Amino acid sequence: MSGPTRGRSPTRGPGPTRGRDPSRRLVLGAGALALLPGHLRAGELAGERHGLSSFGELKYPADFPFFDYVNPEAPKGGRFSTQISQTFGNQSGNTFNTLNPYVLRGDGAGGMNLTFDSLMVRAFDEPDALYGLIARAVAASDDGLTYTFRLRPQARFHDGTRLTARDAAFSLTVLRDKGHPEISQVIRDLSEAVAEGDDTLVVRFRAGRARDLPLIVAQLPIFSAAYWQTRDFEASTLEPPLGSGPYRVARVDTGRSISFERVPDYWAADLPVTVGHNNFDEVRFEYFRDRNVAMEAFKGRAYTFREEFTARVWANGYDFPAVAEGRVQRFTVPDARPSGTQGWWLNTRRPQFRDPKIREAVNLCFDFAWTNKNLMFGAYTRTASFFENSDLKAEGPPAPAEMALLEPLRDRLPAEVFGEPWSPPVSDGSGQDRVLLRRADALLREAGCTRAGSGLRLPDGKPFEIEFLDFDPSLEPHTQAFIRNLGLVGIRAAIRNVDASQYQARVNDFDYDVVSRRFAFGPTPGAELRQSYGSAAAVVKGSANLSGISDPAVDALLDRVADATSRDALRTACRALDRVLRAGRYWVPMWYSGSHRLAVWDVFGRPAKGPTYDLGAPEIWWFDAERARRSGG
């Protein structure tokens, strides 16, 4: 269960990965969720428990003092400053003009998740387990369609007013009805959220709801109903909304930076799920429209934490004095999460990409081996799967359990689905592999394309042209090498760079031929996959279905993923889905790396053993005054 990480590739660096804010996770991810056994206390509902997970797996007991991966004695103070590197909702990596990232309108500011609490929060050392924040406990009905959350009476908004079940009911309802499509479409089977008193929230779901929908709902932000009563939730705003989280907005320089200050009397500061968290007095996000300018700003200490996404810069860009003197530290941190799907997404709503043969021909024109060697210092591995770097990836012929899912769909599937899964071709690394280019030419002719001089015409007689839409030039060398090979088979291609707001508006409207983006999902994907690959999302403005995938066979397997009742069933369904998506040639796969590359000014402390499924910065890092003194900070 996890939300889609959407946006720019974290391995090449022109902007953030899309889906989740790095400062506080909004996780979008049939039968009841498993609740582990426990003892009933006075005033509890039958079946009331302290945590949820997809398949009943909970590491921590009800009386746990804090998560194992935190430093409970971490000091408070100092500043954490960075660029936005993960986004969700309407956020853009290059600018912002609204403080409401939860709706379609505007470009949302980074870090706003810091200002809101949710009913429950994730443990970063478990695949999908949640533990109570605003909610102290939860109980599920036998049919899994009604969940009752018991709220903590001490929960407060920043103005001191009590946070009640009425606020929670309002929040879930407004996000379903007016929220960004990434949220509203995923929670559409939320039937109703009702307050039964100040401390009791009852959430009802429609029959057939996705397995992880209760987990998704439990992690949505809770807003103040009174605050929004006199305001338009869907409008852009630079007024900081009233929140209840560990931070509140301190300073806003629209489009340039936003700072958050730690709330000194944060109501949940001593709860087990927050001990060792939220250690900085200030968290600040800096925005830069140019990647080179951002690097120079880091050298000048305009911000202190940088995740490096560009292999060339990692190899050659850190030769400035602060690195040599040890005042800037560089290191890598393993990333155990699935690396997901990074690549150029071909918009099948466009006539030039409707034929899978044409899509495959376009794939054959990208020489990854040459690009990796000449532009990325051999730092990456070619992506092949929609679940790369995980046990959800399809490999070899389908296992019997996969065949059981695929066989009923045989009439709708290409024959290759029942053999080895499709993988992108391995080139000779010359930059212009003649064998692959000849195969591309043959496929284009089979699809009905014809030569007209040096150019190619589509079956309808129109010139075959492709526009690569982007908002940052960082990927230009990679794309230009790709474009040169497309030209060799007669396809006229060009890059169009627009400003970040125009880019997002065009993507929301599906007004592009090709865009680059990375979608990553956690170890337990579920209903959120429908937003990226489901037929219904293909026609919803602002959805994550960039390629316009609309395939009943894919939809059927998405249902299997969403409704899996065990990890074995989930693995089987994801592998079957992976085979079918790969056979569709909806994207030109790029590359991935199984680690985070970090460059930080030496002012931070962090736990010796961090969490398995998250970097943990800034949530569980802290300001180290002695390090800062030595590094001149």
Per-residue DSSP letters for 341-394? EEEEEE-TTSGGGSSHHHHHHHHHT--HHHHHHHHSTT--EE---TTTTSTTS-
**What pLDDT sits at residue 580?**
98
Where, residue-wise, is CATH 3.10.105.10 in the chain?
341-592
> H-type helices in 473-551, by residue range?
476-488, 500-508, 529-533
552 to 162, 167, 207, 556: CA distances (angstroms): 47, 38, 21, 6
Strand locations in 243-355, DSSP E? Answer: 247-253, 257-262, 282-286, 305-307, 328-334, 341-346
Tokens in use for 380? 């990456």
**What pLDDT sits at residue 346?**
98
**What pLDDT sits at residue 289?**
86
**What pLDDT sits at residue 12?**
36
The Cα 203–Cα 221 span in angstroms is 15
- Condensed to tens digits (0 to 9), the pLDDT of residues 90-114 reads 998 889 999 999 999 999 999 999 9
CATH number of 1-333+594-633: 3.40.190.10
Letter for the amino acid at 588? V
**What pLDDT sits at residue 10?**
34
CATH number of 341-592: 3.10.105.10
**What pLDDT sits at residue 478?**
95
483 to 146, 207, 384: CA distances (angstroms): 53, 48, 21
Neighbour-count burial for 289-323, b at 16+ CB within 10 Å, e otherwise: eebeebbebbbebebbbbbbbbbbbbeebbeeebe
10-residue mean pLDDT series, the chain (633 residues): 38 40 36 37 64 94 97 98 90 93 96 98 96 97 96 98 98 98 93 98 95 95 98 97 98 98 98 98 95 94 94 92 96 86 96 97 98 93 94 97 98 97 96 97 97 91 97 92 97 95 93 92 89 95 95 97 94 98 98 92 95 94 94 76
Where, residue-wise, is CATH 3.40.190.10 in the chain?
1-333+594-633
Cα 104 off chain centre by: 17
Q: Are strands 17-18 and 200-205 parallel, antiparallel or unpaired?
A: unpaired
